[in-house]
């Protein structure tokens, strides 16, 4: 039995999220269906993280076990063949030791949030960005975001449906930068709470349009109360960029 690590990109728009659910097709379900055809038997696929409905991935990591001898390019190409026409692509396949675990072996995750900050709506990136027409100050957003870096109780920045035992997390980086007509928010940490990045972005948007100050954001963090922070940004602007391993 060989364990394979795969790197996946996908458009989250057509799916109910990464994880298998009863209310529609998921990315995990489609990968497992493709893997079953390849392996000739039911083949679980374990991902590094559970992205929500509408959230995209540039570098999601997963692992699966296949008994038959295969080359890495055969695993990649066969999975892609059986995934058509869904917007899911296996970019790479790599044999790994049997103790490798896509989720539990991970040491870090990086997310990108894209805000299209202009008056006209997107023509090519519909469903891929948060179209926000209000003028936003990326420098103010970045400055305020530094209050979130480090080890904190992020109760104010997690979904009421979050199932994590603790709201204490360590953010390694929060960077806000303007890229032409877009504002990009880069966030890195070992792990995240449910909707944490989207709530951070929704709160920073209030700072960017001058409705909140950095001090108000800090008070929201200290409140440890979801109602104290800003709204949850839409899912379509969020991308899982990469997962790190030791």
Are residues 64 and 121 in contact, defined by beta-carbon separation less than 8 angstroms? no
State the catalytic residue, choosing from 11, 22, 52, 73.
52
Comparing C-alpha atoms, which of 166, 152, 160 is closest to residue 223? 152
Whether 137 sits among the annotated catalytic residues: the reply is: no
Distances (CA, A) of 142 to 37, 42, 55, 136: 47, 46, 23, 11
Residues 184/189/193/196 CA torsion (nearest 10 deg): -20
For residue 94 the two structure tokens come to 């790599």
Helix, strand, coil content of the chain in percent (nearest 5): 30, 35, 40
Task: Find the distance separating the first CA and the last CA of the chain, reported in whole Å.
Answer: 24
Residues forming the active site = 52
């Amino acid at each position: 039995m060989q364990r394979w690590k795969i790197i996946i990109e996908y458009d989250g728009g057509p799916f109910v999220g990464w994880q298998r659910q009863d209310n529609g097709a998921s990315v995990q379900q489609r990968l497992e269906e493709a893997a079953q055809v390849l392996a000739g038997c039911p083949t679980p696929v374990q991902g590094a993280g559970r992205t929500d409905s509408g959230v995209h991935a540039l570098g999601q990591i997963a692992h699966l076990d296949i008994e038959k001898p295969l080359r890495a390019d055969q695993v990649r190409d066969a999975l892609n063949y059986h995934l058509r026409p869904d917007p899911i692509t296996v970019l790479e396949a790599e044999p790994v030791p049997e103790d490798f675990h896509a989720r539990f072996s991970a040491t870090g995750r990086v997310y990108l949030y894209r805000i299209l900050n202009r008056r006209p709506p997107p023509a090519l990136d519909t469903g891929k960005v948060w179209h926000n027409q209000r003028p936003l100050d990326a420098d103010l957003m970045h400055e305020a975001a530094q209050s979130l870096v480090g080890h904190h109780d992020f109760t104010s920045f997690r979904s009421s449906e979050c199932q994590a035992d603790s709201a204490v997390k360590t953010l390694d980086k929060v960077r806000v930068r303007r890229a032409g007509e877009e504002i990009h928010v880069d966030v890195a940490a070992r792990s995240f709470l449910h909707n944490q990045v989207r709530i951070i972005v929704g709160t920073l948007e209030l700072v960017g349009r001058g409705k909140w100050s950095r001090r108000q954001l800090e008070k929201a963090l200290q409140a440890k109360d979801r109602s104290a922070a800003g709204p949850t940004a839409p899912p379509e602007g969020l991308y899982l960029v990469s997962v790190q391993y030791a």
